[in-house]
Structure formats: C-alpha cells, structure tokens
Amino acid sequence: MQATFKTSALLAAMLLLAQAPSQAADAATGLPLLPAANSVAGKALTADSSLSAKADKASKSTPDDLKETDVWGRIRTGYAIPDLDNALVAKHTTWYSSRPDYIARTTARASRYLFHVVTELEKRNMPTELALLPFIESAFNPQALSSANAAGMWQFVPGTGRDYNLKQSVFKDDRRGVIASTDAALSYLQRLYDMFGDWQLALAAYNWGEGSVQKAIKRNQAAGKPTDFESLAELMPAETRNYVPKLQAVKNIIANPAQYGLNLPLIDNQPYFTAVDKTSDIDLTIAAQLAELSVDEFKALNPQFNRPVITGNDKTKILLPQENAEKFHLNLAQWGHALSTWTTHKITTARERIETLASKFHTTPEVLRQANNIPQKTVLVAGSTILVPRMSTSANVDIAPEVADNATVAYEADRGGKRSAKGYKLAKGSKASDDDAPVKLVKARVPRHAAHAKSRQRKDD
C-alpha cells in the first residue's frame, strides 16, 4: 500500500510539473522547456497516457518551417488547393517537364525569393503552392514586363498596383519590388478567395478579373449548371482556361521532380536576403560595389529602382544577401567619396534638346538618354524632370522625396510626330525575353482588376 501511494504521489507530482506555467517557450528555439524531473522519470512514465500526449504535443510544437531543411519541402507540406486532373494539366506537365533548361533557369531565379514568399504565405495560413504562381506569371523574373504593362514577378497592371499601394514613378516601380509586390499579391489573392470561397476561382479571377468570373458564375447559375472552375472553363478565354492547369502542372513537378527526370536546386530553409537601411541617395552601382555584388545580382534583389540612383528618405531599404549585408556596412563606414553622382533638373522651356542639356551639365547626350530612358530623336517637353550629373553646387544634397515621388518625363519627336503621353518610362531591357519565360507577349485588353496582364500566352497554347 505504501509503495502504491509513493508511486501515485510521484505521478501526481510529475503531472503538476508538466502543467506548470514555468514550462515557457525557449526564446531561441521556440520549444517548450520540460522540467528536469521528466527526464529523470524517463521510461517509467511512458505508460501514463496524459504525459505521453503532452510529450507528443511538445514534439509537434516545432514550427513546420523549422522541420524542413529545404524550402521545396515546405511548399509540398503546405499544398492545400484541390488538384485538377485533366487533359490540359497533362499537356502543360509535358511541356514543362520536357524543358529542363527552362526549369533550371526559373528555379535558379526562384531560389532568391521563395523563402520569403513561403514564409509570408504561412503567416497568412494560405496554400503554399501559391508560391509557385510567379512560375506561371513571370518565370520568377522581377523585370518581366508584358505588352499590357503588367510588371514584376506577380505581373501587376498599373491600376491594380495602385489599388494595393504599389508606388509607380520615374524613380521606382514597386510592382517589381520583391517585398512590396509579394505583400500586394497575397493580399489580392486572399481577397479573391474571400470573394469566391474557392482557390481555383480566385486564381482565375487573378488572371481574368473578378468581374469576369462573377459574370461567368451568374451565367452558369442561370442555366442551372455548376460553378466550379472546370464547369466555368468553357466560358473563359484560353489564357485563363489554361492558367490553373499550368499551376497544377508545376505543382505536380515540384511534388515529385524525380518522376519527371528533373532536379531542383537545393534552397536552404533560411532567408536569402535581409533589408538594409539606406540613409541618403546612393548610386545603384556604388551600392552594389559596397555590398561586393555584381550589378546584375544587386538588381535581382532590388528590381524596383528604375534609375541609376536610389532616392528616398530613411524609410527606403535595399535588399542584400545575408552574407553581403555586413560587407555593405563595413565598406560604407570606410567610403570616403560621394554616395550619389546624380541630381534632378526640371524642364521649363517648351522643348529642350538633349544635346543642349548635355553641354550645360558637362556630360554627353548618350549618358543623359541612358540614365533617363529617353529615345533617340526626341526632345523633352516642359514639366519633365530628369536626372543630370551633380554639379559642385548641388553636392551632398539629396533629391527631395516629393520630387522623386512626383517626377514625370514627357517627350516628343524631334522632327514632328505625336507627343508621347506624360508619365514614366520603364527601364530599358526590363521586358522578359522569350528565353526566360515560356510565353510570348501579345496584345490584349486587360480588366482593371486583373493583376496579370492578359498578354502572356505560352507559345504552344
């Protein structure tokens, strides 16, 4: 009887310890701190069902993103959109899987961004296969630009970009920014899901526009037909009809690349980049130099900057690979030169020749045209704000935020012709090449609320 009492007392004590408030989470690991007595009791307590359940709960408390060593594994674990299995899915799966070079280029680009995108999806409890959507939209090329002026990884048209607070100016286009555009895209996708209650229809609306999907639903309802994606597909344009099957095809390949004879690059389950404060104007080339990065790699993480100088106040940040952020700070502390060699000049005369401006600012017409994306055989018109080399009188004076936010560039043909519409011109070379995306650019009409321009048809569609 005494032994039984002691055993019961021991079990009761252990249960109290297991339930004590002192079992706080370890700040470094996020795992619960178990009382030392638990480890002493060891195997003697495994028969107790309540303690076993608590141990199970503790072992499962590790966040999913820490259990995986590879970001692809996190994506697979979070698949949550119902699968499609039809002829279009088979067609697109064959197309992608038969192009290993394309898959290699796209996944190599994706390796910079996927950790961030998946982390944001998990924070919002959204299906992780949505991280593969830029595969369809832009081949993970943040410089991608469609003929309908949809830009960035997530292919926002200007109007929808503004709806989701993506600033677009001469100096910066947030539709290309990795962090800003991802936040906007996920907010838009969640809004569409809340509207339709179905992820496949939300994706169709992201491509086609929510108004178009709503009309298709009403049409099927009036005819007594189902309103799921496959039932509505016959009412959709070819691009939207193929859109969800394309994502399903990529989802299938990522789920089991070996089945298709493909290898995915290892993407470590840790952040690729970190945000670094920028406290004054800085030339893009100087920023890359201080970070010990090539200009191309710097632009891959900071594609939103349209001009050779990064303007803005202290809220403007640049993204750098983790290992380069420290190099940037160390090199910046030892930098003994001006960080920016550019300032702005506003055109006040009716027409201003580039050659005249080049002479005034001691540079060449080619330098001014390239810095401002001004075509040959054009003249600037009044109201335009352009970059010019800094003169001694303007040294160490940053471009005012209100100038950077509101600057426009307008020009007209040097010898007659129509004046261009006022507004910014995108950086030369920002259009995605056919080599880098499985699509060609075609003209199309775009609904205002279609984040993806209806202009990216794949070559075999």
Assess whether 129 and 159 both reside in one domain. Answer: yes
Q: Name the residues annotated as catalytic.
A: 137
Asked whether residue 445 is domain-assigned, the answer is: no
How far is residue 110 CA from its own chain's centroid? 10
Residue burial 351-371, b: 16+ Cβ < 10 Å; e: rest: ebebeebbeebeeebebbbeb
Domain that holds residue 239: 66-267
Provide the token pair at 110. 């994706």
Close Cβ partners of 19 (under 8 Å, ≥ 6 residues apart): none
CATH number of domain containing 313? 3.10.350
End-to-end, the C-alpha distance of the chain in Å comes to 81
Assess whether 379 and 320 both reside in one domain. Answer: no
Tens of each residue's pLDDT in the chain, 461 residues = 444 444 444 444 443 333 443 333 333 333 333 333 333 333 332 333 333 333 343 334 344 445 668 999 999 999 999 999 999 999 999 999 999 999 999 999 999 999 999 999 999 999 999 999 999 999 999 999 998 899 999 999 999 999 999 999 999 999 999 999 999 999 999 999 999 999 999 999 999 999 999 999 999 999 999 999 999 999 999 999 999 999 999 999 999 999 999 999 999 999 999 999 988 999 999 999 999 999 999 999 999 999 999 997 767 899 999 999 999 999 999 999 999 999 999 999 888 899 999 999 999 999 999 999 999 999 999 999 999 999 875 567 899 988 998 899 998 988 654 444 443 333 333 333 334 443 333 323 334 344 444 444 333 33
Q: Which of 294, 317, 334 is at the close of a domain?
A: 334
Which DSSP category does 305 fall into? B
Asked whether residue 82 is domain-assigned, the answer is: yes
Do 183 and 161 meet the contact criterion of CB atoms below 8 Å apart? no
Q: Which of 314, 334, 354 is at the close of a domain?
A: 334
Report pLDDT for 103: 97
Assess whether 41 and 94 both reside in one domain. Answer: no
CA distance to 358, 412, 426, per residue, from 380 (Å): 13, 7, 16
Assess whether 187 and 80 both reside in one domain. Answer: yes
Q: Which residues pair with residue 275 across a beta bridge?
A: 319
Do 287 and 340 meet the contact criterion of CB atoms below 8 Å apart? no
Assess whether 354 and 308 both reside in one domain. Answer: no
Assess whether 166 and 287 both reside in one domain. Answer: no
Report pLDDT for 5: 41
Indicate the pTM of the whole model: 0.77
Assess whether 168 and 218 both reside in one domain. Answer: yes
Phi, psi at 352, each rounded to 5°: -130, 125
Question: How many structural domains is the chain composed of?
Answer: 4
Q: Which of 413, 428, 455 is at the close of a domain?
A: 413
Report pLDDT for 211: 97
Phi, psi at 315, each rounded to 5°: -80, -15
